[in-house]
Amino acid sequence: MRTLNVALGDRAYPIHIGRGLLDRADLVLPHLKTRRVAIVTNDVVGPLYLHRLCSALEAAGVQVSAVSLPDGEAHKDWATLNRIFDVLLAERCERSTTLIALGGGVVGDMGGFAAACYQRGMPFIQIPTTLLAQVDSSVGGKTAINHPLGKNMIGAFYQPRLVLADIETLNTLPGRELSAGLAEVIKYGLIRDAEFLGWLEGNLERLVAREPDALAHAIERSCRNKAEVVAADETERGERALLNLGHTFGHAIETGLGYGEWLHGEAVAAGTMMAVELSRRLGWLSEVDVARVAALFERAGLPVYGPKLGVERYLDLMAHDKKVEAGRLRLILLRSLGQGVIHADASPAEISKAIEARCR
Ligand SMILES: NC(=O)c1ccc[n+]([C@@H]2O[C@H](COP(=O)([O-])OP(=O)(O)OC[C@H]3O[C@@H](n4cnc5c(N)ncnc54)[C@H](O)[C@@H]3O)[C@@H](O)[C@H]2O)c1
Ligand SMILES: O=C(O)C(=O)C[C@@H](O)[C@H](O)[C@H](O)COP(=O)(O)O
Ligand SMILES: [Zn+2]
């Protein structure tokens, strides 16, 4: 098992990465306030892993309630969030009960938001079961639900007390979902870790083949990058915005097509290509750099062009981005491969050309 720390003072928490961790109640117990938990999962993950987690906790004397949500991004909404509150109340969960999110990023984002709101805040633990959730969404405390007009528009910053990433859960993950997770892995290389980017270029097929050592390395390195950024800028006043590379375009794709049509990671990959193209047009990247990034995404089984929504529609959707300040779009671009930058000066005409060049 490898352990990292998210250094947030008296709210610091560990990220444990390893095999068989679902059975390790001993890792969970020190982070509970009382011996009472409510597990939030979904209709796909529950049948696979809920029993193991429940058995381990119950054997350690913990009283467990569980709620299973319908699967998918289309259910990351108010109605589904409310189902969590219905169960927490019906089961008489207390403010000291710990909510455990067992699943991918959708379950984690919704479980975390429910934990932030229920009785004004209950303890929260993340047990991520997708690659995307293990490398990104379970760390850092962004929680949210979607709105028909924009992704993650209603939410809160609310940190977990523990992240438990059991790599063995990735064995049952569909290939398309593994690829989606790789988009966020590649992101860390592009925005702040050129050495890791080089490693990814040399090892991508090992990740696609789910070689345990390669996966463990990629998850640890990704979490290390994310933990450093979050510790330095928890609520996205500055540097944390770099984690949004490709997301302003990508969220427009997800919202524009309807949630769940494209996976988040797929939209981020196509959106990153738009950001990369704009960076080239600004003179920061070369044609060779663009080809290098596209090749990496393609080897990961990810799209490198977005859908043809129409440039006006893209711009309209992008205007809802949370990084918009005083009506001005702030985009994450690349000064070089491995160095992200927040850029507020791109003109709508320049942005439009980059979108058009990367739609098909
Ligand atoms: N909070 C953050 O910082 C952050 C970061 C990145 C993404 N996100 C959010 O995360 C969401 C995407 O997360 P995701 O990619 O994990 O999608 P997801 O949660 O929808 O999970 C993907 C699919 O895999 C299934 N699944 C999960 N674990 C499995 C397993 N071990 N075996 C088999 N099937 C399994 C799920 O039921 C689902 O069908 C998006 O809503 C995105 O906005 C949040
Ligand atoms: O943790 C962050 O900060 C991120 O931006 C990580 C992203 O991968 C993630 O998709 C996040 O939910 C997007 O945040 P948002 O603020 O644009 O909704
Ligand atoms: Zn993301």
* φ, ψ dihedrals at 75, nearest 5°: -105, 10
Ligand 2 in reach of 73 Cβ (< 6 A): no
Residue 241 lies in a domain: yes
- Considering the domain architecture, whether residues 236 and 299 belong to the same structural domain is answered as yes
**Does 225 participate in catalysis according to the annotation?**
no
* 322 pocket-lining for ligand 2 (C-beta < 6 Å): yes
| 129 shares its domain with 205 | no
- CATH number for the domain that contains residue 277: 1.20.1090.10
Which H or E run contains 153? strand 150-157
Tell me if residue 240 is catalytic. Answer: yes
What pLDDT, on a 0 to 100 scale, did the predictor assign at position 48? 98
Q: Cα(162)–Cα(27) distance, rounded to whole angstroms?
A: 9
| Domain count along the chain | 2
CB of 103 closer than 6 angstroms to any ligand 1 atom? yes
Ramachandran quadrant class, 344 (left: phi over 0; alpha: psi -120 to 50; beta: rest): alpha
> Which of 44, 102, 158, 179 gets mutated to test ligand 1 (max ligand atoms within 8 A of its CB)?
44
Cα 177 to middle of ligand 1, angstroms: 8
Q: For residue 61, what is the DSSP state?
A: T
| Residue 232 sits in the same domain as residue 93 | no
Residue 129 is labelled as binding a ligand: yes
Residues 215 and 306 both lie in one domain: yes
Residues 165 and 42 in one domain: yes
Residue span of the structural domain in which 322 resides = 198-357
Does residue 89 sit in the same domain as residue 139? yes
Span from the CA of 57 to the centroid of ligand 3 (angstroms) = 31
The sign of the torsion formed by the CA atoms of 146, 173, 227, 186 equals: negative
Is residue 258 located within the same domain as residue 334? yes
ipTM: 0.99
Check whether residue 166 and residue 260 sit in a common domain.
no
Question: Which CATH number does the domain housing residue 117 bear?
Answer: 3.40.50.1970
* 184: in domain: no
183 located within any domain: no
Query: Given the DSSP bridges, would you call strands 13-18 and 2-6 parallel, antiparallel or unpaired?
Result: antiparallel
- Predicted confidence at residue 59, as pLDDT, reads 98
Closest to 293 (Cα-Cα) out of 157, 219, 183, 211: 183
Q: Using an 8 Å Cβ cutoff, are 271 and 337 in contact?
A: no
171 marked ligand binding residue: yes
Same domain, 151 and 48: yes
Asked, for residue 78, whether it belongs to a domain, the answer is: yes
- Tell whether 74 is covered by a domain: yes
Residue 191 within any structural domain of the chain: no
Both 47 and 87 in a single domain? yes
Q: Is residue 16 annotated as a catalytic residue, yes or no?
A: no
Distance 244 CA to ligand 3 centre (A): 7
pLDDT along the chain (360 residues), means of 10: 98 98 98 98 98 98 98 98 98 98 99 99 99 98 98 98 98 98 99 98 98 98 98 98 98 98 98 98 98 98 98 98 95 98 96 98
31 and 166 part of one domain: yes
**Within-domain flag for 325:** yes
> Does residue 74's CB lie within 6 angstroms of at least one atom of ligand 1?
no
Assigned domain for 177 exists: no
Of 42, 146, 152, 244, the active-site residue reads: 244
- 177 catalytic? Reply is no
Pocket test for ligand 2, best of 76, 109, 135, 136 (most atoms within 8 A of CB): 136
Quote the CA–CA distance of 84 and 70 in Å, as a whole number.
11
- pLDDT at position 16 is 98
Tokens 């990671």 belong to residue: 265
* pTM beyond 0.95: yes
Q: Are residues 44 and 147 in the same domain?
A: yes
